[in-house]
């Protein structure tokens, strides 16, 4: 029997129930979010203005950092402000909007990581043809394809969710809106919808992960023919990307490739990939990349000189 869709506002339980613990979390996570925005923003600016960082690898890195800011900003600002609120609420429309943008930017990031792996494959396995293959036009098409893939994925997720009736209860056991916690509030059987969205997210994550692993297996096999110095240089350009892939895919696969639960541990894993990982990415790329560090120093020196004039 169909139910009236009379729920317009949802109550979010949050990460922890203890007000004291929530205040501690606020003090911890606010600097983390600010570091995420500043760190990734600095990479976007540096790649945009530095003539030495106009290769395809840095072109993709700039867009990855931009997506990281957007991805984190769909969840973290509300999560942080909710830590100080006694009752955490969000409208049903706002919840659907958060789900849309969270999945949009999340899948865009996954596809950009795949694109960056392809870029490293071409650079290492086909170095003589690199500039011909990775043309400016192809780079723009790959970035546009990543954004389009994220948009199509998130539209599918939301279109599955919108027709569901919500007639109570309206308490969501999470700290942000996601599909599985929202499905538990629907007053109808959501088995088909749950399988549909899990297949959608799971297939994208699994296929992308397999492509990434395969590309690095091919790269490692190709490096066996190189000298020790050649192997070291090639692996140093891949190390940052591999680290980011592991940090992003590890928690995501743990949560989305198995039946959902409401354990606090699951929420903490979600905190890792929504709050912590976006902050770590700029640190990983700048610490392991001499060219980015040099470009940032030049940019900083240029600002200081212009300020003194």
pLDDT in tens, 238-260: 888 888 888 888 777 776 665 55
What integer pLDDT is reported at residue 16 of this predicted model?
86
Are 68 and 40 a contacting pair, CB within 8 Å?
Answer: yes
The reply to whether omega before 306 is within 30° of 0 (cis) is no
Percent share of the chain, pLDDT over 70: 91
What count of Cα atoms within 13 Å lies in the side-chain half-sphere of residue 24?
7
**CATH number of the domain encompassing residue 258:** 1.20.1070.10
Q: Predicted confidence band at 265 (pLDDT cuts at 50, 70, 90)?
A: low
Residue 309 lies in a domain: no
Residue 221 and residue 257: Cα distance in Å, rounded?
A: 29
Q: Is residue 130 part of a domain?
A: yes
**Residue 4 resides in a domain:** no
The tally of domains found in the chain comes to 1
In this prediction, residue 1 has a pLDDT band, given cuts at 50, 70 and 90, of very low
Predicted pLDDT at 264: 62
Domain containing 247: what range? 9-293
300, part of any domain: no
In a domain, 2, yes or no: no
């Amino acid at each position: 029997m169909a139910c009236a869709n009379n729920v317009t506002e949802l109550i979010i339980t949050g990460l922890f129930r203890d007000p004291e613990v929530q205040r501690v979390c606020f003090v911890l996570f606010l600097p983390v979010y600010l570091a995420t925005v500043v760190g990734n923003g600095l990479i976007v600016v540096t790649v945009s203005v530095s003539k030495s960082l106009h290769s395809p690898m840095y072109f993709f890195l700039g867009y990855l950092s931009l997506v990281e800011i957007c991805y984190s900003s769909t969840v973290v600002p509300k999560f942080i402000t909710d830590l100080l609120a006694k009752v955490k609420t969000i409208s049903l429309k706002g919840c659907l909007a958060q789900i849309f943008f969270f999945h949009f930017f999340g899948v865009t990031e996954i596809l950009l990581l795949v694109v960056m792996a392809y870029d490293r494959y071409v650079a290492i396995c086909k170095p003589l043809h690199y500039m011909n293959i990775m043309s400016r036009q192809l780079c723009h098409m790959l970035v546009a394809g990543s954004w389009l893939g994220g948009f199509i994925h998130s539209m599918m997720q939301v279109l599955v969710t919108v027709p569901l009736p919500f007639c109570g209860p309206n308490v969501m056991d999470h700290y942000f809106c996601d599909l599985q916690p929202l499905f538990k509030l629907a007053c109808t059987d959501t088995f088909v919808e749950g399988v549909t969205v899990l297949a959608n997210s799971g297939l994208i994550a699994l296929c992308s992960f397999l492509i990434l692993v395969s590309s690095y297996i091919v790269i490692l096999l190709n490096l066996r023919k190189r000298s020790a110095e050649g192997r070291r240089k090639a692996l140093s350009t891949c190390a940052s990307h591999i680290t980011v892939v592991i940090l992003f895919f590890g928690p995501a696969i743990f949560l989305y490739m198995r039946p959902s639960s409401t354990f606090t541990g699951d929420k903490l894993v979600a905190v890792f990939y929504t709050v912590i990982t976006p902050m770590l990415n700029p640190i990983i790329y700048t610490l392991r990349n001499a060219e980015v560090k040099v470009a940032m120093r030049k940019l900083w020196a240029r600002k200081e000189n212009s300020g003194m004039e």
